C-alpha cells in the first residue's frame, strides 16, 4: 500500500509541505510550485500522469545533475537524507494518489547519476541503465525509453552509447532508501529508475563540460516526454495530440526575464537601417560623373548605442536559469545572433563587416548560383516593369499602404503601424513595424499590389502577429528569420499576380552580385558585370551593387531567392502558409513552433494578409503544391 498523507487538514511534513494543500491544488487543476526544506523543489504545471524525481545524495551537491529533470512539466527535486525519507514518501504518495484517481495509473521516473566521479569510458560499461521491478514493468514504456536513450547517446555525449536494462526489487538508487513501498505497482503507480553516468565532467570531477551537459539535458528532455507520451496513450484514458503537449505550459520567472533582456538588446538598434547608406542617391550622382570608375564612399547613421556595453548586458542574461530546453536553445541562438550583429555594426565600412555578414546570412552555394545564372540567361534583358497605368509617387503609394493597414485593422485594432515618407532611405522597408517610403520613389502601377503584400502583407503582418505572442523574440525575429521572411514576401508578390520577369531578374542579379562580392570582386567590377554582361540599366545595376556592398559587404540580398526556393519546396511537401505567419521565424523553427503550439503557449495569428482571402491567389498556391521552379513564377 502507498503511504497515506497525514490526517491533519494542514499537516506539514518536515519538508515544509502541506500534503493536503498539494492534493487539493492538483484536484483543482492548479499549478503546484513549492520549495522543500532543507533543499528541493516541487513543480507540477498541472495534473499529468507522471512525475520525474531526482534525489540529492546526502553530502553531495551536483547542480548539473539536478538540472537534468527540471525540463519536465512535472518534477520533484528532493533531499536524499534518510531522516527525511518517510516525509518524502508521504509527499510522493499524496501526489500519486491524486494522479491515480485522475488517470487510473501514473508513472514515476527517478533519475540518478553515478556516484563514482567522472564519465564512463567508451567501453562495454553502460552509459545509462534503466531499472524496473521484476514482472511489474510497463514493457512498452521501458522499450520506448531504451530506444530513445540509444538514439541520443553518441551525438549528445560524444561517446559510444550504451543502455542496460536491469530488474531489481527496488528501482530506486541503491544508495538511497526506496522512494515508495514495494507494492506501489499494485496501487496503480509504476516506478522506473534511470541511472546515468556523469559524462559531463572529467574523471576526477574537478572540471565540467557545460556544452555536453546542455546537449544531454536537451535530448533527455525529449526522450522523457516521448516515454511519458507512450505511457499516457497506452495506459490512461488521456489522448494528448502530441508528445509536446505533455511539456511545460507555464514557465519560471527566468524565462520572461531572458526574453525581455534579449528584446531590450535588440531594440537598442535597427540593424538594417544602421547598415544602409544615408547618401545612396548622392553617391550615385558622383559615381556617374566619374564615369563609373571610382567606387562610392557611403555614410551611415551614427550608432545610437555603445556596442561594448550592449555586449556586456547581452551576456549578463542568465540563460542557464531557463528550465525549458526548447527556449534555452532558442534564446542562446538569439544571443549569438545579436552578438554578431553588434560586432558587424562596429565593423561598418571595414572588410570585417563582410565576414560577419557571411556568418549571419550565409554564402551562395553552387546550386543557388546556377539558378540565378539561368534566370538571368533565360529572362530577356529587355524585360522591364510595364508602364501601363502610369506610376505612383511616394504620397500616392503611402495612401495605398494606409488603406491596406485599415483592412488589417478590421481583424484587430492592435496594429499601431504607420506609413512614413522618409528622405534618408533608398528603398521601401519595414522598421519596427512601420513602413518607410523613400521620398523620391516612383512605383509602376503594375507593381503596387505586389509591393503592398511584400511589405505590409508579410513584414508588417508577421511583426504584429509576433508582437501578440508571449515571447518578444517572435516580433523581433528568431535567429535566421530573414530567409523565410523574404521568401514569403516574394511569394506574396507572385500570389497577387505581381512577380514580374524584371523582378525575378533583379533577385537573380542580387545572388550573382553577392557571389562576386564574396569571391573578392570590387564594387566597380560587380557594377560593370551587371551593366555590360547582363544588360541592367545603369541605375538599377548601381542599386543592386550598392545593396550588396553596403556596410562593407552585405550577403543578405541572396536570401530573397534562396528563401523563395526553400519555400517552394516546403509547399510542394505539403507545408501550409498559415503557420509561417505566427511571427518572424525561420523554416528551421517549425518544430519549435509546433512544440509551443501543442503546449498552448502560442496564440493564433491575429492578422492574415489580404491575399489569403483571394480566390485567384489560392488557385495559384494550389498549383505550387504540385511542384514548381522559380522560373515558373514569372508573370
Q: How do residues 262-315 score in pLDDT, each as one tens digit?
A: 999 999 999 999 999 999 999 999 999 999 999 999 999 999 999 999 999 999
With 0.85 as the threshold, say if the pTM is over it: yes
What average pLDDT does range 43-55 have in this prediction? 95
pLDDT at 203 > cutoff 80: no
* Model confidence band, residue 616 (pLDDT cutoffs 50, 70, 90): very high
- The mean pLDDT of 323-350, rounded to a whole number, is 96
Give the single-character DSSP code of 551: G
Give the pLDDT of residue 154.
Answer: 55
Domain boundaries, the chain: 19-250, 270-304+347-633
Fold of 19-250: Aminopeptidase (3.40.630)
Cβ burial of 339 (10 Å; 0-12, 13-18, 19+) is middle
**β-strand 391-393 against 189-196: which pairing, if any?**
unpaired
Residues 6+ apart with CB under 8 A from 221: 71, 72, 325
pLDDT at 510: 98
DSSP states of 491-512 as a string?
HHHHHTT---HHHHHHHHHHHH
Average pLDDT value for the chain: 91
Q: What is the pLDDT of residues 217-274, one digit of tens each?
A: 999 999 999 999 999 999 998 899 999 999 999 898 999 999 999 999 999 999 999 9
**What 3-state DSSP class applies to 190?**
strand
Q: Please compute the mean of the pLDDT values over residues 320-339 and round it to a whole number.
A: 95
Residue with cell 530546453: 325
Whether the bond between 38 and the residue before it is cis, its omega within 30 degrees of 0, is: yes
Amino acid at each position: 500500500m502507498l503511504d497515506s498523507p497525514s490526517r491533519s487538514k494542514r499537516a506539514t511534513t518536515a519538508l515544509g509541505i502541506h500534503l493536503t494543500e498539494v492534493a487539493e491544488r492538483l484536484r483543482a487543476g492548479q499549478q503546484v510550485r513549492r520549495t522543500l526544506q532543507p533543499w528541493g523543489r516541487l513543480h507540477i504545471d498541472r495534473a499529468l500522469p507522471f512525475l520525474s524525481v531526482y534525489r540529492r545524495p546526502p553530502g553531495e551537491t551536483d547542480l548539473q545533475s539536478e538540472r537534468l529533470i527540471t525540463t519536465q512539466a512535472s518534477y520533484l527535486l528532493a533531499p536524499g537524507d534518510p531522516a527525511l525519507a518517510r516525509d518524502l514518501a508521504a509527499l510522493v504518495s499524496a501526489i500519486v494518489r491524486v494522479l491515480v484517481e485522475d488517470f487510473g495509473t501514473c508513472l514515476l521516473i527517478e533519475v540518478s547519476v553515478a556516484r563514482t566521479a567522472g564519465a564512463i569510458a567508451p567501453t562495454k560499461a553502460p552509459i545509462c541503465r534503466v531499472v524496473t521491478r521484476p514482472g511489474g514493468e510497463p514493457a512498452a514504456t521501458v522499450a520506448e525509453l531504451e530506444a530513445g536513450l540509444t538514439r541520443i547517446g553518441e551525438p549528445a555525449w560524444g561517446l559510444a552509447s550504451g543502455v542496460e536494462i536491469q530488474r531489481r526489487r527496488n528501482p530506486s538508487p541503491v544508495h538511497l532508501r526506496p522512494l515508495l513501498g514495494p507494492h506501489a505497482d499494485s496501487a496503480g503507480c509504476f516506478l522506473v529508475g534511470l541511472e546515468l553516468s556523469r559524462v559531463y565532467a572529467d574523471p576526477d570531477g574537478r572540471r565540467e563540460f557545460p556544452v555536453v551537459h546542455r546537449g544531454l539535458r536537451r535530448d533527455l528532455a525529449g526522450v522523457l516526454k516521448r516515454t511519458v507520451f507512450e505511457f499516457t496513450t497506452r495506459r490512461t484514458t488521456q489522448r494528448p495530440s502530441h508528445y509536446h503537449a505533455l511539456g511545460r505550459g507555464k514557465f519560471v520567472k527566468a524565462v520572461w526575464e531572458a526574453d525581455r533582456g534579449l528584446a531590450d538588446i535588440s531594440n537598442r538598434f535597427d540593424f538594417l537601417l544602421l547598415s544602409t547608406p544615408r547618401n545612396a542617391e548622392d553617391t550615385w550622382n558622383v559615381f556617374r560623373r566619374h564615369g563609373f570608375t571610382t567606387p562610392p564612399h557611403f555614410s551611415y547613421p551614427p550608432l545610437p548605442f555603445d556596442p561594448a556595453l550592449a555586449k556586456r548586458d547581452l551576456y549578463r542574461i542568465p540563460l542557464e536559469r531557463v528550465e525549458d530546453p526548447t527556449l534555452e536553445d532558442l534564446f542562446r541562438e538569439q544571443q549569438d545572433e545579436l552578438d554578431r550583429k553588434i560586432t558587424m555594426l562596429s565593423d561598418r565600412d571595414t572588410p570585417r563587416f563582410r565576414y560577419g555578414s557571411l556568418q549571419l546570412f550565409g554564402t551562395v552555394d553552387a546550386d543557388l548560383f546556377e539558378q540565378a545564372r539561368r534566370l538571368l540567361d533565360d529572362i530577356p534583358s529587355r524585360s522591364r516593369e510595364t508602364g501601363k497605368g502610369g506610376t505612383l509617387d511616394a504620397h500616392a503609394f503611402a495612401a495605398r499602404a494606409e488603406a491596406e493597414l485599415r483592412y488589417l485593422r478590421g481583424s484587430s485594432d492592435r496594429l499601431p503601424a504607420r506609413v512614413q515618407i522618409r528622405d534618408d532611405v533608398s528603398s521601401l522597408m519595414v522598421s519596427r513595424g512601420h513602413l518607410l517610403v523613400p521620398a523620391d520613389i516612383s512605383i509602376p502601377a503594375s507593381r503596387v499590389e505586389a509591393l503592398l503584400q511584400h511589405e505590409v502583407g508579410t513584414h508588417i503582418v508577421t511583426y504584429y502577429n509576433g508582437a501578440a505572442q508571449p515571447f518578444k523574440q517572435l516580433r523581433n525575429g528568431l535567429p535566421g528569420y530573414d530567409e523565410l521572411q523574404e521568401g514569403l514576401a516574394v511569394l506574396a508578390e507572385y500570389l497577387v499576380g505581381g512577380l514580374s520577369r524584371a523582378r525575378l531578374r533583379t533577385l537573380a542579379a542580387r545572388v550573382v552580385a553577392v557571389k562576386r562580392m564574396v569571391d573578392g570582386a570590387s564594387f566597380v567590377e560587380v557594377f560593370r558585370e551587371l551593366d555590360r554582361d547582363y544588360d541592367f540599366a545603369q541605375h538599377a545595376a548601381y542599386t543592386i551593387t550598392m545593396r550588396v556592398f553596403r556596410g562593407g559587404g552585405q550577403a543578405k540580398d541572396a536570401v530573397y531567392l534562396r528563401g523563395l526556393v526553400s519555400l517552394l519546396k516546403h509547399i510542394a511537401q505539403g507545408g501550409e502558409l498559415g503557420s509561417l505567419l505566427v511571427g518572424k521565424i525561420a523554416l528551421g523553427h517549425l518544430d519549435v513552433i509546433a512544440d509551443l503550439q501543442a503546449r498552448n503557449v502560442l496564440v493564433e495569428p491575429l492578422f492574415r494578409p489580404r491575399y489569403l482571402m483571394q480566390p485567384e491567389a489560392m488557385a495559384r498556391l494550389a498549383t505550387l503544391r504540385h511542384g514548381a521552379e522559380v522560373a515558373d513564377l514569372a508573370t
